[in-house]
Amino acid sequence: MIIHYLCTTLLFVFINMQRIVLFDIAKALCIVLVVVGHYIPENSPVWYECLNKLIYSFHMPLFMFASGFIYMATKKEGESYSKFLVKKLKRLMLPYVVVSVIVISIKMLTEKHAFVENPVTAYAYIKMLYFPEAGYFLWFIWALWWMFVIAPLFATKQKRLLLLGAALLLYCIPPFLPEVFCFKQFQSMLVFFMLGAVCCDWSKIATSVKIPFWAVCLSFAALEYFYIRFDVCHSVIPFVGIATIIYLSDIISRGAKKINGLLTISATSYIIYLFHTTFEGAAKAALQKFAPILLDDPFFAVGAVLVISAGVAGPMVLYRYILAKYKLTQFIFGIKRQQAASDRLPAALIRPTGLLTLIYLQHAVKIALGTEAWQRLR
């Protein structure tokens, strides 16, 4: 009985770790898609335009879904609503203001000497307080802030189900909320955040639904074909896209040696989101000056890889050697040691050898409990 109890406890811990790691992998895949999607040169070939349209069809709903799931998975019981909001205000809006000021200032200082996409005026310093003037991609931060304002008010599983139903209704009707404070984006994204939260609430039921991966991929490919070719299926694709990436993340999470890089990207996903356009812009400007041939066919793919790599790697380097190093930048960007969901896990889990040990432990527990008990616990 004691051995059975210990095995059961270890299994619950391992499964919860697995679920968070899975969504960290999904976050990593998503932020890479975001960086790819935000590189949109004017002379891009048709195949890249199709890829961009595919990514835009589901990547931000996926980010919201992962945020909702992780919000519930890491929710602190008994934390006051006001304390939670202050924490999220510091985590989301303080970096938003700082990055907005930096980007607006850079644009204003360089627009006379180099090409600047979406130039701004001094009024942008005021407008950024109610609209993402520094870069439209920052709408996500406003929308996520409103999610965190609303979600804690629905404190039970049943209430969250009701909110999911209301969010689905808002998603199905034409947008009517204003664009100030990104309420319009909040209206369209709430359903995905709440879907992630509800999937965490009812994870046993959610994981009991077994659909073959090939069927999910085939459905996604078919829907994307009709979307790209005929501009239809807009409302359905995000849900199938989310399912496809979650399935893919689950497959990747089972390979111990393959996930370290993705967990590192996930750990800095917020910093990548804030700064990727700055590094992409710098890389594109450098190519325009020193290697313009890489911005056109037949070398467009090479230039795109270089610019996108700068958009991912640049913020990660910035995070490691500057933002995470000094107390002021740690405070501004809400950086804590072992901050990401993957970092919240034991250090042994993040190392390949440690993760392999836990995988072997998983199989040992499965044998000890028996197949039926294992399936019930999962």
Query: Does residue 202 share a domain with residue 66?
Result: yes
| CB 318 within 8 Å of CB 64 | no
Residue 232 lies inside a defined structural domain of this protein: no
Q: How far apart are CA 84 and CA 190, in angstroms?
A: 19
Does residue 221 fall inside a structural domain? no
Tell me the pTM: 0.81
151 and 184 housed in the same domain: yes
Within this chain, do residues 36 and 91 fall inside the same structural domain, yes or no? no
* Residues 110, 52 share a domain: no
Asked if 193 and 64 touch (Cβ cutoff 8 Å), the reply is yes
- Give the list of residues 6+ apart from residue 169 with CB closer than 8 angstroms, or none: none
Separation in Å, CA 115 to CA 106, 202, 208, 306: 12, 50, 53, 19
Pick the closest to residue 107 from 319, 276, 278, 284 (CA basis): 278
What is the pLDDT at residue 257? 60
Whether 143 is covered by a domain: the verdict is yes
User: Residues 15, 130: one domain?
Assistant: no
Q: Does residue 265 form part of some domain?
A: yes
Whether 137 is covered by a domain: the verdict is yes
Question: How far apart, in whole angstroms, are the C-alpha atoms of residue 173 and residue 105?
Answer: 38
Please state the separation of Cα 304 from the chain's center in Å: 21
**209, 229, 252: which is the final residue of a domain?**
209
pLDDT tens for the 378 residues of the chain, in order:
444 433 443 344 444 445 578 888 999 999 999 999 999 888 889 999 999 999 999 999 999 999 999 999 888 888 999 999 999 999 999 999 999 999 899 888 887 766 667 788 889 999 999 999 888 889 999 999 999 999 999 989 999 999 999 999 999 999 899 999 999 999 999 999 999 999 999 877 766 777 888 899 999 999 999 999 998 888 999 999 999 999 898 888 876 566 788 888 998 999 999 999 989 988 998 998 899 998 888 899 999 999 999 999 999 999 999 999 999 999 999 887 544 334 443 333 333 334 444 444 444 444 445 555 545 544
pLDDT at 289: 87
Same domain, 273 and 370: yes
Is residue 31 situated within a structural domain?
yes
Both 42 and 168 in a single domain?
Answer: no
pLDDT at 353: 38
Q: Both 204 and 168 in a single domain?
A: yes
Predicted pLDDT of residue 163 = 97
| CB of 340 closer than 8 Å to CB of 267 | yes
> Is 197 part of a structural domain of the chain?
yes
Whether residues 8 and 29 fall in one domain? yes
**67 and 198 housed in the same domain:** yes
Number of domains in the chain: 2
Q: Is 76 helix (H, G, I), strand (E, B) or coil?
A: coil
The answer to whether residues 175 and 316 belong to one domain is no
Domain limits for position 176 = 60-209
8 and 139 belong to one structural domain: no
pLDDT score at 169: 96
Report d(CA 328, CA 335) in Å as an integer: 10
Does residue 266 belong to any structural domain of this protein? yes
